[in-house]
A = this chain, B = another copy of it.
Amino acid sequence: MKYNKNFYQIKSNKEIFEKIEKEKGYIGYYNLPYQDTSYIKEFAKNVTQKDIVVVGIGGSSLGTFAIHKFLQHKENDKKLHFLESTDPLDLQRRISKINLNDALFIIISKSGTTVETVSILKYLHTLVNIDSSNTICITENDSKLKTFAKSRDIKTFEIPKDVGGRFSVFSTVGLVPLAIMGLDIDELLSGCKEVSDSFFSQDEYYSLLMEKARFLVENKNRFNINVVFSYSLLLEGFNKWYVQLWGESLGKININGTKQALTPIGLVGPIDQHSFLQLIVEGKRDKTVTFIKIEDFQDEMTIPHLSLEGLEELDYLNDIKFKDLINKQADATIEAIEGLDDIPCDVITIQSQDEFNIGKLMFSYELLTSIVGKFVQINTYDQPGVETGKIILKEKLK
Protein backbone atom coordinates (compact mmCIF):
# COMPACT_ATOMS: atom_id res chain seq x y z
CA MET A 1 0.00 0.00 0.00
CA LYS A 2 1.17 3.49 -0.82
CA TYR A 3 -0.31 6.40 1.01
CA ASN A 4 -0.58 9.62 -0.98
CA LYS A 5 1.12 12.00 1.37
CA ASN A 6 -0.03 14.95 -0.68
CA PHE A 7 -3.65 14.14 0.03
CA TYR A 8 -5.35 17.41 0.82
CA GLN A 9 -5.40 18.50 4.40
CA ILE A 10 -5.10 21.88 5.96
CA LYS A 11 -1.56 22.20 7.22
CA SER A 12 -0.59 23.82 10.49
CA ASN A 13 0.28 27.51 10.51
CA LYS A 14 3.84 26.55 11.31
CA GLU A 15 4.14 24.33 8.25
CA ILE A 16 2.65 27.02 6.03
CA PHE A 17 4.98 29.64 7.41
CA GLU A 18 7.98 27.43 6.70
CA LYS A 19 6.81 26.92 3.14
CA ILE A 20 6.39 30.68 2.67
CA GLU A 21 9.88 31.28 4.05
CA LYS A 22 11.25 28.77 1.57
CA GLU A 23 9.27 30.39 -1.26
CA LYS A 24 10.98 33.69 -0.48
CA GLY A 25 14.07 32.21 -2.06
CA TYR A 26 12.60 31.91 -5.54
CA ILE A 27 9.48 34.12 -5.66
CA GLY A 28 10.70 37.63 -6.25
CA TYR A 29 7.98 39.90 -4.94
CA TYR A 30 8.91 39.19 -1.31
CA ASN A 31 12.17 41.03 -1.85
CA LEU A 32 10.81 44.14 -3.56
CA PRO A 33 10.39 46.19 -0.35
CA TYR A 34 14.15 46.05 0.14
CA GLN A 35 15.28 47.13 -3.35
CA ASP A 36 17.40 50.15 -4.20
CA THR A 37 15.26 52.82 -5.90
CA SER A 38 17.82 55.55 -6.47
CA TYR A 39 18.15 54.92 -10.23
CA ILE A 40 14.37 55.14 -10.61
CA LYS A 41 14.13 58.42 -8.71
CA GLU A 42 17.09 59.79 -10.66
CA PHE A 43 15.37 58.99 -13.96
CA ALA A 44 11.97 60.24 -12.80
CA LYS A 45 13.12 63.68 -11.78
CA ASN A 46 14.52 64.32 -15.26
CA VAL A 47 11.32 63.50 -17.13
CA THR A 48 10.11 66.69 -18.79
CA GLN A 49 7.00 65.51 -20.58
CA LYS A 50 3.61 66.49 -19.21
CA ASP A 51 1.58 63.50 -20.42
CA ILE A 52 2.66 60.13 -19.06
CA VAL A 53 1.15 57.21 -20.96
CA VAL A 54 1.23 53.70 -19.51
CA VAL A 55 0.74 51.15 -22.29
CA GLY A 56 0.10 47.82 -20.59
CA ILE A 57 -2.69 45.49 -19.55
CA GLY A 58 -3.50 43.39 -16.48
CA GLY A 59 -0.62 43.24 -14.04
CA SER A 60 1.22 45.87 -16.09
CA SER A 61 -1.30 48.57 -15.26
CA LEU A 62 -3.80 47.60 -12.53
CA GLY A 63 -1.49 48.19 -9.58
CA THR A 64 -0.22 51.52 -10.88
CA PHE A 65 -3.79 52.61 -11.56
CA ALA A 66 -4.82 51.61 -8.04
CA ILE A 67 -2.13 53.74 -6.38
CA HIS A 68 -2.58 56.63 -8.81
CA LYS A 69 -6.33 56.70 -8.20
CA PHE A 70 -5.80 56.63 -4.42
CA LEU A 71 -3.09 59.30 -4.29
CA GLN A 72 -4.00 61.64 -7.15
CA HIS A 73 -4.19 64.54 -4.70
CA LYS A 74 -0.47 64.10 -3.91
CA GLU A 75 0.73 63.95 -7.51
CA ASN A 76 2.49 66.67 -9.48
CA ASP A 77 0.83 68.42 -12.42
CA LYS A 78 1.63 65.73 -14.99
CA LYS A 79 -1.25 63.72 -16.38
CA LEU A 80 -1.26 59.91 -16.22
CA HIS A 81 -3.01 58.00 -19.02
CA PHE A 82 -3.58 54.28 -19.46
CA LEU A 83 -3.88 52.53 -22.82
CA GLU A 84 -4.79 48.92 -22.29
CA SER A 85 -7.84 47.66 -24.17
CA THR A 86 -8.21 46.82 -27.84
CA ASP A 87 -11.69 48.38 -27.85
CA PRO A 88 -11.35 50.88 -30.72
CA LEU A 89 -13.82 53.52 -29.53
CA ASP A 90 -12.40 53.51 -26.04
CA LEU A 91 -8.86 53.67 -27.37
CA GLN A 92 -9.70 56.63 -29.62
CA ARG A 93 -11.23 58.53 -26.71
CA ARG A 94 -8.20 57.96 -24.52
CA ILE A 95 -5.68 58.84 -27.21
CA SER A 96 -7.58 62.03 -28.04
CA LYS A 97 -6.86 63.29 -24.52
CA ILE A 98 -3.08 62.92 -24.88
CA ASN A 99 -0.81 65.65 -26.17
CA LEU A 100 1.23 63.30 -28.34
CA ASN A 101 4.05 65.80 -28.79
CA ASP A 102 4.62 66.20 -25.09
CA ALA A 103 4.12 62.61 -24.01
CA LEU A 104 6.30 59.91 -22.50
CA PHE A 105 5.13 56.43 -23.53
CA ILE A 106 5.89 53.69 -21.02
CA ILE A 107 5.50 50.35 -22.76
CA ILE A 108 5.08 47.63 -20.13
CA SER A 109 4.99 43.91 -20.83
CA LYS A 110 6.74 41.28 -18.78
CA SER A 111 6.85 38.71 -21.57
CA GLY A 112 7.32 41.44 -24.14
CA THR A 113 4.81 39.93 -26.54
CA THR A 114 1.42 40.83 -25.07
CA VAL A 115 -1.02 41.11 -27.98
CA GLU A 116 -2.88 44.18 -26.71
CA THR A 117 0.28 46.09 -25.80
CA VAL A 118 2.09 45.41 -29.06
CA SER A 119 -1.04 46.26 -31.09
CA ILE A 120 -1.29 49.62 -29.37
CA LEU A 121 2.46 50.21 -29.70
CA LYS A 122 2.18 49.61 -33.43
CA TYR A 123 -0.81 51.90 -33.72
CA LEU A 124 0.99 54.69 -31.83
CA HIS A 125 3.60 54.54 -34.59
CA THR A 126 1.03 55.85 -37.04
CA LEU A 127 0.57 58.95 -34.86
CA VAL A 128 4.02 59.77 -33.60
CA ASN A 129 7.62 58.72 -34.03
CA ILE A 130 8.37 56.20 -31.28
CA ASP A 131 11.99 56.65 -30.26
CA SER A 132 14.33 57.16 -27.35
CA SER A 133 13.15 60.72 -26.84
CA ASN A 134 9.56 59.84 -26.00
CA THR A 135 9.50 56.17 -25.00
CA ILE A 136 10.76 53.79 -22.34
CA CYS A 137 10.11 50.07 -21.97
CA ILE A 138 9.64 48.01 -18.81
CA THR A 139 10.13 44.31 -19.45
CA GLU A 140 12.15 41.20 -18.64
CA ASN A 141 15.83 41.37 -19.40
CA ASP A 142 15.87 39.04 -22.39
CA SER A 143 12.39 39.67 -23.77
CA LYS A 144 11.59 40.54 -27.36
CA LEU A 145 10.41 43.96 -26.28
CA LYS A 146 13.90 44.47 -24.89
CA THR A 147 15.34 43.60 -28.31
CA PHE A 148 13.00 46.15 -29.87
CA ALA A 149 14.06 48.79 -27.35
CA LYS A 150 17.75 48.13 -27.91
CA SER A 151 17.34 48.44 -31.68
CA ARG A 152 16.09 52.00 -31.17
CA ASP A 153 18.26 52.95 -28.23
CA ILE A 154 15.18 53.17 -26.03
CA LYS A 155 15.81 53.10 -22.28
CA THR A 156 14.51 50.00 -20.50
CA PHE A 157 13.79 49.12 -16.91
CA GLU A 158 13.93 45.51 -15.87
CA ILE A 159 11.16 43.38 -14.40
CA PRO A 160 12.86 40.59 -12.45
CA LYS A 161 12.08 37.18 -13.95
CA ASP A 162 10.84 35.84 -10.62
CA VAL A 163 8.25 38.60 -10.10
CA GLY A 164 4.87 37.69 -11.58
CA GLY A 165 2.74 40.28 -13.36
CA ARG A 166 0.03 40.60 -10.72
CA PHE A 167 2.68 40.79 -7.97
CA SER A 168 4.73 43.41 -9.82
CA VAL A 169 3.31 46.74 -8.66
CA PHE A 170 6.26 47.35 -6.32
CA SER A 171 8.79 46.53 -9.04
CA THR A 172 9.77 48.97 -11.81
CA VAL A 173 6.31 48.29 -13.30
CA GLY A 174 4.64 50.51 -10.73
CA LEU A 175 7.55 52.46 -9.27
CA VAL A 176 8.73 54.10 -12.51
CA PRO A 177 5.40 55.70 -13.53
CA LEU A 178 4.47 56.54 -9.93
CA ALA A 179 7.84 58.20 -9.27
CA ILE A 180 7.39 60.24 -12.45
CA MET A 181 4.02 61.38 -11.13
CA GLY A 182 5.78 62.75 -8.06
CA LEU A 183 4.79 60.13 -5.54
CA ASP A 184 7.23 59.06 -2.84
CA ILE A 185 8.07 55.51 -3.84
CA ASP A 186 10.33 54.98 -0.84
CA GLU A 187 7.36 55.60 1.43
CA LEU A 188 5.39 53.05 -0.59
CA LEU A 189 8.12 50.51 0.03
CA SER A 190 8.35 51.46 3.72
CA GLY A 191 4.72 50.48 4.02
CA CYS A 192 5.46 47.14 2.39
CA LYS A 193 8.48 46.69 4.61
CA GLU A 194 6.53 47.24 7.79
CA VAL A 195 4.11 44.47 6.85
CA SER A 196 6.83 42.16 5.60
CA ASP A 197 9.05 42.59 8.67
CA SER A 198 6.13 42.10 11.01
CA PHE A 199 5.00 38.98 9.20
CA PHE A 200 8.39 37.31 8.90
CA SER A 201 9.30 38.05 12.52
CA GLN A 202 5.98 36.37 13.40
CA ASP A 203 4.62 39.54 14.91
CA GLU A 204 1.26 41.31 14.45
CA TYR A 205 0.82 40.68 10.71
CA TYR A 206 1.71 37.04 11.15
CA SER A 207 -1.28 36.47 13.43
CA LEU A 208 -3.59 38.71 11.42
CA LEU A 209 -2.86 37.19 8.04
CA MET A 210 -2.52 33.57 9.16
CA GLU A 211 -5.79 33.69 11.04
CA LYS A 212 -7.63 35.30 8.15
CA ALA A 213 -6.18 32.94 5.54
CA ARG A 214 -6.99 29.94 7.69
CA PHE A 215 -10.57 31.03 8.19
CA LEU A 216 -11.09 31.63 4.48
CA VAL A 217 -9.63 28.24 3.58
CA GLU A 218 -11.44 26.24 6.24
CA ASN A 219 -14.73 27.76 5.09
CA LYS A 220 -14.05 27.99 1.38
CA ASN A 221 -16.84 25.68 0.35
CA ARG A 222 -19.44 27.42 2.48
CA PHE A 223 -18.21 30.95 1.71
CA ASN A 224 -16.93 30.79 -1.84
CA ILE A 225 -17.17 34.55 -2.46
CA ASN A 226 -14.90 37.14 -0.82
CA VAL A 227 -16.25 40.67 -0.99
CA VAL A 228 -14.04 43.71 -0.42
CA PHE A 229 -16.28 46.67 0.38
CA SER A 230 -14.20 49.86 0.19
CA TYR A 231 -15.68 53.04 1.59
CA SER A 232 -14.07 55.45 -0.84
CA LEU A 233 -14.28 55.82 -4.60
CA LEU A 234 -10.51 56.36 -4.49
CA LEU A 235 -10.17 52.66 -3.71
CA GLU A 236 -11.99 51.60 -6.88
CA GLY A 237 -8.63 50.95 -8.54
CA PHE A 238 -7.49 48.95 -5.53
CA ASN A 239 -10.63 46.83 -5.83
CA LYS A 240 -9.83 45.97 -9.45
CA TRP A 241 -6.26 45.12 -8.52
CA TYR A 242 -7.55 42.90 -5.70
CA VAL A 243 -9.90 41.08 -8.07
CA GLN A 244 -7.01 40.22 -10.38
CA LEU A 245 -4.64 39.27 -7.56
CA TRP A 246 -7.14 37.05 -5.80
CA GLY A 247 -8.95 35.54 -8.78
CA GLU A 248 -5.99 34.81 -11.02
CA SER A 249 -3.79 33.57 -8.16
CA LEU A 250 -6.28 31.33 -6.39
CA GLY A 251 -8.47 30.06 -9.23
CA LYS A 252 -6.42 26.92 -9.76
CA ILE A 253 -6.39 23.16 -9.82
CA ASN A 254 -4.47 22.02 -6.73
CA ILE A 255 -1.99 19.19 -6.33
CA ASN A 256 -4.82 16.71 -5.80
CA GLY A 257 -6.57 17.77 -8.99
CA THR A 258 -9.34 19.63 -7.19
CA LYS A 259 -10.55 22.92 -8.66
CA GLN A 260 -10.11 25.65 -6.10
CA ALA A 261 -11.87 28.96 -6.13
CA LEU A 262 -12.33 31.85 -3.85
CA THR A 263 -14.18 34.38 -5.98
CA PRO A 264 -13.30 38.06 -5.42
CA ILE A 265 -15.80 40.90 -5.65
CA GLY A 266 -14.96 44.58 -5.20
CA LEU A 267 -17.58 47.05 -4.00
CA VAL A 268 -17.48 50.75 -3.16
CA GLY A 269 -19.51 52.46 -0.46
CA PRO A 270 -21.80 54.20 -0.13
CA ILE A 271 -22.69 53.63 -3.80
CA ASP A 272 -23.08 49.87 -3.49
CA GLN A 273 -25.31 50.23 -0.47
CA HIS A 274 -27.78 51.08 -3.23
CA SER A 275 -26.89 48.00 -5.23
CA PHE A 276 -25.14 44.93 -3.88
CA LEU A 277 -25.79 45.34 -0.15
CA GLN A 278 -29.30 43.88 -0.30
CA LEU A 279 -27.81 40.67 -1.68
CA ILE A 280 -25.27 40.45 1.15
CA VAL A 281 -27.89 41.03 3.83
CA GLU A 282 -30.73 38.82 2.64
CA GLY A 283 -29.04 36.53 0.15
CA LYS A 284 -27.59 33.09 0.63
CA ARG A 285 -24.72 32.99 3.11
CA ASP A 286 -21.96 32.37 0.60
CA LYS A 287 -19.90 35.53 1.14
CA THR A 288 -17.28 36.90 3.50
CA VAL A 289 -17.05 40.68 3.67
CA THR A 290 -13.97 42.81 4.32
CA PHE A 291 -14.70 46.49 4.83
CA ILE A 292 -11.99 49.04 4.12
CA LYS A 293 -12.30 52.45 5.73
CA ILE A 294 -10.16 55.56 5.53
CA GLU A 295 -9.75 57.03 8.99
CA ASP A 296 -8.91 60.54 7.92
CA PHE A 297 -9.90 61.84 4.51
CA GLN A 298 -7.75 64.86 3.79
CA ASP A 299 -10.71 67.13 3.16
CA GLU A 300 -12.92 69.36 5.26
CA MET A 301 -15.87 69.73 2.86
CA THR A 302 -18.96 70.23 5.00
CA ILE A 303 -22.71 70.04 4.46
CA PRO A 304 -23.91 73.60 5.11
CA HIS A 305 -26.30 74.66 7.84
CA LEU A 306 -29.26 74.92 5.55
CA SER A 307 -32.88 73.94 5.81
CA LEU A 308 -34.61 73.25 2.52
CA GLU A 309 -38.39 73.56 2.33
CA GLY A 310 -39.95 70.12 2.33
CA LEU A 311 -36.67 68.47 3.24
CA GLU A 312 -36.48 69.66 6.84
CA GLU A 313 -36.42 66.07 8.10
CA LEU A 314 -32.91 65.82 6.69
CA ASP A 315 -31.63 68.76 8.70
CA TYR A 316 -29.74 66.29 10.86
CA LEU A 317 -27.20 66.27 8.02
CA ASN A 318 -26.41 69.95 8.57
CA ASP A 319 -22.85 70.89 9.58
CA ILE A 320 -21.58 67.34 9.10
CA LYS A 321 -18.32 66.92 7.24
CA PHE A 322 -18.53 64.62 4.22
CA LYS A 323 -15.60 62.61 5.59
CA ASP A 324 -17.58 61.94 8.76
CA LEU A 325 -20.74 61.16 6.82
CA ILE A 326 -19.07 58.52 4.64
CA ASN A 327 -17.38 56.93 7.65
CA LYS A 328 -20.62 56.83 9.59
CA GLN A 329 -22.25 55.25 6.53
CA ALA A 330 -19.53 52.62 6.66
CA ASP A 331 -20.01 52.09 10.40
CA ALA A 332 -23.76 51.77 10.01
CA THR A 333 -23.39 49.15 7.30
CA ILE A 334 -20.81 47.25 9.33
CA GLU A 335 -23.04 47.30 12.39
CA ALA A 336 -26.02 46.08 10.37
CA ILE A 337 -24.03 43.17 8.98
CA GLU A 338 -22.36 42.29 12.27
CA GLY A 339 -25.82 42.27 13.81
CA LEU A 340 -26.78 39.39 11.55
CA ASP A 341 -24.23 37.13 13.20
CA ASP A 342 -23.84 34.71 10.30
CA ILE A 343 -21.85 36.77 7.79
CA PRO A 344 -18.07 36.59 8.40
CA CYS A 345 -16.87 40.16 8.35
CA ASP A 346 -13.71 42.12 9.17
CA VAL A 347 -12.68 45.76 8.92
CA ILE A 348 -9.40 47.25 7.69
CA THR A 349 -8.84 50.88 8.63
CA ILE A 350 -6.35 52.96 6.66
CA GLN A 351 -4.97 55.77 8.79
CA SER A 352 -4.47 58.26 6.01
CA GLN A 353 -4.33 58.63 2.26
CA ASP A 354 -0.62 58.41 1.69
CA GLU A 355 2.04 56.22 0.10
CA PHE A 356 2.93 54.42 3.32
CA ASN A 357 -0.59 53.25 3.99
CA ILE A 358 -1.46 52.07 0.48
CA GLY A 359 1.86 50.20 0.44
CA LYS A 360 0.88 48.44 3.65
CA LEU A 361 -2.58 47.57 2.36
CA MET A 362 -1.42 46.18 -0.96
CA PHE A 363 1.56 44.26 0.35
CA SER A 364 -0.57 42.66 3.05
CA TYR A 365 -3.01 41.51 0.35
CA GLU A 366 -0.14 40.01 -1.63
CA LEU A 367 1.01 38.11 1.45
CA LEU A 368 -2.51 36.98 2.24
CA THR A 369 -2.85 35.63 -1.29
CA SER A 370 0.40 33.70 -0.97
CA ILE A 371 -0.64 32.20 2.35
CA VAL A 372 -4.05 31.10 1.08
CA GLY A 373 -2.35 29.62 -1.99
CA LYS A 374 -0.08 27.56 0.24
CA PHE A 375 -2.99 26.36 2.37
CA VAL A 376 -4.92 25.12 -0.68
CA GLN A 377 -1.76 23.66 -2.24
CA ILE A 378 -1.73 25.38 -5.59
CA ASN A 379 0.81 27.28 -7.63
CA THR A 380 -0.24 30.84 -6.77
CA TYR A 381 1.99 32.44 -9.38
CA ASP A 382 1.11 30.95 -12.75
CA GLN A 383 -1.99 31.22 -14.96
CA PRO A 384 -2.13 28.14 -17.17
CA GLY A 385 -5.87 28.49 -17.67
CA VAL A 386 -5.58 31.40 -20.08
CA GLU A 387 -3.20 29.71 -22.49
CA THR A 388 -5.83 27.84 -24.56
CA GLY A 389 -7.59 31.09 -25.45
CA LYS A 390 -4.29 32.63 -26.54
CA ILE A 391 -3.54 29.70 -28.84
CA ILE A 392 -7.01 29.81 -30.37
CA LEU A 393 -6.66 33.57 -30.96
CA LYS A 394 -3.37 33.13 -32.75
CA GLU A 395 -4.94 30.53 -35.04
CA LYS A 396 -7.86 32.81 -35.79
CA LEU A 397 -5.61 35.72 -36.68
CA LYS A 398 -3.08 33.88 -38.80
Chain A interface (Cβ < 8 Å from any Cβ of B): 57-59, 62, 72-73, 84-93, 112-113, 115-116, 118-119, 121-123, 125-126, 144-152, 165-166, 224-225, 231-234, 240, 243-244, 247-248, 250-253, 259-261, 263, 265, 268, 270-271, 273-287, 297-299, 301, 303-304, 306, 308-311, 313-314, 316-318, 320-323, 325-326, 328-329, 331-333, 335-336, 339, 353, 383-386, 388-390, 392-394, 396-398
Contact partner, A224, options B86, B148, B224, B332, Cβ 8 Å: B224
Q: Which residue of B lies closest to A235 (CB)?
A: B87
Please report the C-alpha to C-alpha distance between residue A280 and residue B92 in the assembled complex, in whole angstroms.
30
Of B59, B62, B270, B392, which one neighbours A116 at CB under 8 angstroms?
A: B270
Contact between B113 and A313, CB atoms less than 8 A apart: yes
Residue of B nearest to A266 (CB): B265
**Which residues does chain B contribute within 8 Å of A85, judged by CB atoms?**
233, 268, 270-271, 326
Write the nearest CB–CB distance from A18 to chain B, whole angstroms. 26
Question: B residues within 8 A CB of A145?
Answer: 310-311
Q: Is the CB of A270 within 8 A of B308?
A: no
Q: Which residue of chain B is the closest to A329 with respect to CB atoms?
A: B393
**5 additional contacts, CB 8 Å, given A224-B284, A328-B397?**
A85-B233, A88-B321, A113-B314, A115-B314, A331-B396
Contact status A244-B88, CB under 8 Å: no
Contact of A317 (CB < 8 Å), options: B73, B119, B259, B261:
B119
Closest B residue to A385 by beta carbon equals B281
Report Cα–Cα, A303/B119, bound state, in Å. Answer: 6
Q: Within 8 Å CB of A384, what residues of B?
A: 278, 282
Q: A309: shortest Cβ distance to chain B, in Å?
A: 4
B278 touching A383, Cβ below 8 Å: yes
- The interface residues of chain B lying within 8 Å CB-to-CB of A89 are 73, 232, 234, 297-299, 353
Interface class of chain A by DSSP: helix
Taken together as a complex, chains A and B put the C-alpha atoms of A311 and B260 apart, in Å, by: 36
Q: Does A389 lie within 8 Å of B123, measured CB to CB? A: no
B301 and A88 within 8 A (CB) = yes
Report how far A332 CA is from B311 CA in the complex, Å.
54
CA gap between A306 and B179 in the complex, in Å: 32
CB distance from A370 to the nearest CB of B (A): 16
Which residues on the B side are within 8 Å of A251 (C-beta)?
A: 276, 278-283
A62 to B148, CA, bound (A): 44
Interface pair A394/B263, CB less than 8 Å apart: no
User: CB distance A313 to B234 under 8 Å?
Assistant: no
What residues on B are CB-neighbors of A233 within 8 Å? 85, 87, 90
Which of the residues B147, B271, B279, B317 comes within 8 Å of A250, measured between beta carbons? B279
Complex A-B: 14 CB contacts under 8 Å: A85-B233, A88-B301, A89-B299, A90-B232, A112-B310, A224-B225, A224-B286, A225-B263, A243-B275, A261-B286, A263-B279, A263-B286, A263-B287, A331-B392
Residue from the set A278, A353, A388 with the largest chain B CB neighbour count within 10 Å: A278
Residues on the B chain within 8 Å of A270, using CB: 57, 85-86, 116
Q: Is the CB of B316 within 8 A of A144?
A: no
- Distance in angstroms from A34 CB to nearest chain B CB is 28
Are A309 and B90 within 8 A (Cβ)? no
Task: Determine how close the nearest CB of chain B comes to the CB of A284; give it in whole angstroms.
Answer: 4
In the complex, chain B residues whose CB is within 8 Å of the CB of A278? 247-248, 251-252, 383-386
